[in-house]
Amino acid sequence: MIEIPVCGRWKRNNSLFMRALVDDEDADVAWQYIWRLSRREPQQVVADVGGSVIVLPSLLLGLEGCEQRLRVEHRNGNSLDNRRRNLQVVSLPERGRGRIPAGLGGVGDRS
At 68-99, the pLDDT tens digits run 678 888 999 999 999 999 999 988 665 555 55
In a domain, 109, yes or no: no
Q: What is the pLDDT of residue 68?
A: 67
The SS3 call for residue 76 is: coil
In a domain, 107, yes or no: no
Q: Give the predicted TM-score (pTM) of the model.
A: 0.72
Distance CA 100, CA 52 (A): 32
In a domain, 15, yes or no: yes
Residue-number span of the structural domain to which 71 is assigned: 2-97
In a domain, 102, yes or no: no
**Number of domains within the chain:** 1
104 pLDDT more than 50 = no
In a domain, 67, yes or no: yes
Q: What is the pLDDT of residue 94?
A: 54
101 pLDDT more than 50 = no
